[in-house]
Structure 1
């Protein structure tokens, strides 16, 4: 009866279970050759391991470069956020904060269009920043748990922008410790990949928090109990 030849899986399992095999049969290890991964020739097993290690080193280098690029980009965003926040803190006239938010955001983050609409802020109820705010938009803002990022289609707040963007972010704004939103900040970009549904929103959340806190200076304080 002819004995079946061991399969590749059988050989791999045997070598895994017998790590001393090549130590006990050093002559086989020295003469063993395998196909070159990129050329039509055979190379020794040692050379193949070296090529594998070189490939891994290149992959790690590429990952490291990507991490460094991401870190650099995050640092630039942090610097822009700090400068934007410092400008708001330095603004003595609270009524100028809405215009400041729009202007400085566009400058600091190279945005194609920025729009701001607010409600329940009596000092701004007759200003341009309180126009075109519908009950539907206010309801949608109250239901938002995080910034929206993605295409323009179906987003009524996109009509507030001066030009038609390819992607946008919509940020609900809350006064400090405020349960209900007091407005929406809309960021538009001509780049369809600038704001996408799968992007992180950590920095956008910080922008929303800072803008909401600054606008909170215009919230009428509740009367103290007698």
Structure 2
């Protein structure tokens, strides 16, 4: 009966389970040659291992550069958010806050289009910021557990923008400690990769918290001095 030759996996399993084999046959490994991964020639097993280690080092360097770039990008976003928040805090007239939110966000984050709508704020009931708010949009805002990012895909709130964007973010706004939304912020971009379904929403959630807290000043504004 012919004995079946061991498979490559059998050999690999044997070597991993019997590390003393490398010590017992050190001379064999010193003379082995293997194909070069990128050239039509053979190299020693030691050279092949060095090439593998160099490749891994380059991969780690690339990952490190990506982490550094991401850290730098996050730092720039943090600085922009801080400046945006500082401007809102410095605004003495609460009625100017909605326009201020739009203008400052556009300046700080270089956005192509921004729309803001609010509801449940009687003081803004006749303003442009209360227009085109349907019951469906209010229901959508209440049902959103986190900001939406991605293509328009039938999002009714995208109609608030002058032109249909290639990607957008829709952010429900709640007043500080408020359970129900009091508004919605729509951020549009001509870049289809600016807002994608797999992107993180931590910074958008922070924008929502800051804008919602600022708009909360309009729920029961203090009477103006005579």
| Corresponding residue for residue 81 of structure 2 | 81
CA–CA distance in structure 2, aligned partners of residues 5 and 144 of structure 1 = 61
Q: Deviations over 1:199-218 (max 9, x none)?
A: 11110000001000000000
Deviation of the 1:220 alpha carbon: 2.3
Unaligned runs of 5+ in 2: 222-226
Unaligned runs of 5+ in 1: 222-226
| Corresponding residue for residue 186 of structure 1 | 186
Within a 5 Å distance, the mapping from 1:1-226 to structure 2 comes to 1-220=1-220
TM-score normalised by the chain length of structure 2: 0.94
TM-score normalised by the chain length of structure 1: 0.94
CA–CA distance in structure 2, aligned partners of residues 153 and 5 of structure 1 = 58
CA–CA distance in structure 2, aligned partners of residues 146 and 124 of structure 1 = 25
Deviation of the 1:22 alpha carbon: 2.1
Q: Is the 8 A contact 1:141 1:172 kept in 2?
A: yes
| Corresponding residue for residue 224 of structure 2 | none
What SS does the aligned partner of 1:185 have?
A: strand
Deviation of the 1:164 alpha carbon: 2.3
Aligned length: 221
Seen in structure 2, the aligned counterparts of structure 1 residues 164 and 10 have a Cα distance that, compared at 3 Å, is closer
Higher mean Cα deviation, 176-185 or 14-23? 14-23
Q: CA RMSD in A?
A: 1.3
Q: Deviations over 1:115-158 (max 9, x none)?
A: 10001112111111111111111111111111111111311111
Deviation of the 1:97 alpha carbon: 0.4
